[in-house]
Structure 1
Amino acid sequence: MLIDLPGCALCAADRDRLAHPFVGGVVLFARNWRDRTQLTALCADIKSVRNDLLICVDHEGGRVQRFASDGFTPLPPMRVLGQRWEVDPNAGAALATACGFVMATELRACGVDLSFAPVLDLDYGASTVIGDRAFHANANTVTALASALMHGMQLGGMANCGKHFPGHGHVRGDSHTEVPVDSRTLEQILEQDAQPYGHLCLRLQSVMPAHVVYPAVDGVPAGFSARWLQGILRERLCFGGAIFSDDLSMVGARVVAGQPIGVGRAAELAWKAGCDMVLLCNPATSQDFDACLVALERSCSQATPQRKQDSEARRHSLLPIAPALGWDALQSDGRYVHACKTVARVQIRV
């Protein structure tokens, strides 16, 4: 389970939760941010509880960038990269690589391990929750730009996470507040939205499914569907990395087959469908935390030893394998300086 934190520093209850063997990491939000010094201290404190905890954040750029002051470079929305690609594909790819490198190196300099990026949804112009977070409407363009962004992240020592499988861009509904339904056929989805996952399957290190129902394929949201996660993502598209659930506190994760379910049941369904890690974030109460733990302990006790070992190995594979440059050293790193200039020039033109 990946959990959230209420503030900018750990309290005794936070430490107890992080020490639990069924907790594998933390998801940070803007409420956990005051400045770089505080963020760096918080990440170090989390690692002091358990060094293998995975520290994650949504830091895509544009309107989804949790840390955007005190020296952090403002990253453009991914749609800007798509617009740049239309003018000059090489320049668009270079900008994507620069964004990925800046994102990864700045976060890692403060102790963050993973940003949930890139967004692989297609920009149909329908979804307000995705909108300019998507690179483009064309699947091939999304694949090319995502590949370049992932390369930049890799150069910065960070793994990647493609989201929201198999695609959230076609529906208007926001899974934070409702249960979106995409009525297209499996063939239509595979030929369009899921294409980037097939093309990038050997390079994607983790994937986050959508809290969207695709009734032509399965009657439950993709994150609870063994057909989507195991039959299609793992077997048909040959994805071998880690699978995160999206936040189980979202409305899209709390209604299955038209019936409301508790967070414990949601965690159980996500694990049984094939998720390696489940996210429990906004807002998570002590009762929700306990319910998730009980459900996961029960589910894991029924799983094979191999399944548990594989999931834990995939979680560990997302941890950085090399030390990061500190913030001061980063400012004089030639690649970082060049990447920041690339990002700044394009933003000024836009």
Structure 2
Amino acid sequence: MTPSRPGDRGASLSAEPLALILGVSGLTPTPWEAAFLREINPFGFILFRRNVRDPDQVRALTESLRALVGRPDAPVLIDQEGGRVHRLKPPLWRAPPPAEVFGQLYARDPALGREAAWLNARLIAHDLLALGIDTDCLPVLDVRHPGAHDIVGDRAFSEDPDEVTTLGAAVIDGLEAGGVYPVVKHIPGHGRAQADSHEALPVIDTAFDDLVAHDLVPFRALAQAPFAMTAHILYTALDADAPATLSPTVIERVIRGACAFDGLLMTDDLSMKALAGSMEERSRRSLAAGCDLVLHCNGDASEMEQAARGARPLDSAAQRRWDTARQQRRLPDPGYDAAGGLARLGELLNG
């Protein structure tokens, strides 16, 4: 399918941001992408490895994306977890360790584990904000389960929900101290999945009470986070017909209810194979189910158009949540000693 020319959709620039976060295809927006983004006015953007060459290029890209929508505070997201998942790579950027490393240190010394997790997140925020990236899809609050698919694996801190909560709180605080919004994921929990949701729809048959007692613990404890990302997982005890991202029952009863999360709720990537239907249908159903924002990552122009057709402007509840996030955002200490923080983190991890 060939993408239409901007203007062919019969829509003009929305006064309110569209409830959509989009990726672009390369190091700079193409002429088509620039015109499309200017027209539809998405809420924010997400960067991947294909969008990264060097610091000057990334800074120019984040500036250009915000200029296209005329909003200097339009969020720019990235997945900079560490371990297997980091878009900014050596030698130009530090490679953070996976979450499991902090869980192992915590098991030996809880105080040092918390300190290391905070320092690592603070250093990530320092790197991101220098590039104009203000939102990190971190921390992973999934509780690891023995025998589950390794799509989570060492991205999880621990098999103990209380340890996940403690270390997740340290990461949130470290990111926020550096002026970066955290995105907790993957609510209501990906740790039991027996399949990779990038490739297939995982099905979890665990009873609701067991989920509340275990998997939901970190999400409930850290419900004040400004953003959360859904899990593309079918929880048969909650909704046997729709994965969490598309389920009004899961979002209302579990995410907004049992977890009491009142921040901005975004989908995981709409282009993942766990979801069925066109991008337009996925986008529309996610928002109808109760998500505030839909996320489309791969930069495919035709899919971006479909996702935009299924989206709507930010509604009043989402706007209230975004206003709250902006009001509560912390400004980083301009005198932060990143070199000293890095040296201390090295001591902790190598000690």
TM-score by length of 1: 0.88
Query: Is the aligned partner of 1:56 residue 2:80?
Result: no
Deviations 1:89-148 (A, max 9, x none): 000000011011011111001100100110000111322111100000000000000001
Provide Cα deviations, 1:141-173, integer angstroms capped at 9, x if missing partner.
Answer: 000000011111111011211101111111120
Aligned to 2:255, which of 233, 236, 258?
A: 233
Does residue 79 in structure 1 map to residue 100 in structure 2? yes
3-state SS in 2 of match to 1:163: strand
Partner of 1:267: 283
Rounded to whole Å, the distance in 2 between the matches of 1:280 and 1:315 is: 19
Contact 2:106–2:114 under 8 Å retained in 1: yes
| Mapped contact 1:108–1:324 kept (Cα < 8 A) | no
Cα displacement string for residues 213-232 of structure 1 (whole angstroms, at most 9, x for unaligned residues): 01111021111111111222
Alignment correspondent of 1:10: 29
Structure 1 counterpart of 2:12: none
Question: Is the alpha carbon distance of 1:128 and 1:210 closer, same or farther for their aligned partners in structure 2, counting shifts above 3 Å?
Answer: same
Shift of residue 312, structure 1, vs aligned partner: 2.8
| Alignment-mate amino acid for residue 90 of structure 2 | S
Give the distance between the partners of 1:234 and 1:337, measured in 2 at CA. Answer: 40
Residue 277 of structure 1 is matched in structure 2 by 293
Decide whether aligned partners of structure 1 residues 91 and 140 sit closer, same or farther in structure 2, where only a CA change above 3 A counts. Answer: same
Is the Cα contact below 8 Å between 2:119 and 2:341 reproduced in 1? yes
The answer to whether residue 141 in structure 2 is matched with residue 134 in structure 1 is no
1:142 is aligned with what amino acid?
A: V
Deviates more, 1:65-74 or 1:211-220: 65-74
- Superposition pairs of residues 176-255 of structure 1, within 5 angstroms: 176-202=198-224, 204-218=225-239, 219-254=241-276
DSSP 3-state at the match of 1:135: coil
Instruction: Report the counterpart of residue 67 of structure 1 in structure 2.
Output: 88
Deviations along 1:47-83, whole A, 9 cap, x unmatched? 2222242100000111111002244222110000000
* Contiguous gaps of at least 5 residues in structure 1: 255-260, 301-306
Deviation at 1:322, TM superposition (A): 6.5
Q: State how far apart, in whole Å, the 1-side matches of 2:130 and 2:308 are.
A: 32
Q: CA deviation at 1:318?
A: 4.7
Runs of at least 5 residues in structure 2 that lack an aligned partner in the other structure: 1-19
Give the C-alpha shift of residue 323 in structure 1: 6.5
Identity, % of aligned pairs? 28
The aligned counterpart of 1:118 is: 139
- Segment drifting more, 110-119 vs 38-47: 38-47
How many pairs were matched up? 327
Deviation at 1:285, TM superposition (A): 3.1
Q: Are the counterparts in 1 of residues 112 and 348 from structure 2 also a CA contact under 8 Å?
A: no
Q: In the TM superposition, what is the alpha-carbon distance from 1:188 to its structure 2 partner?
A: 0.8
User: Cα RMSD (Å) of the superposition?
Assistant: 2.0
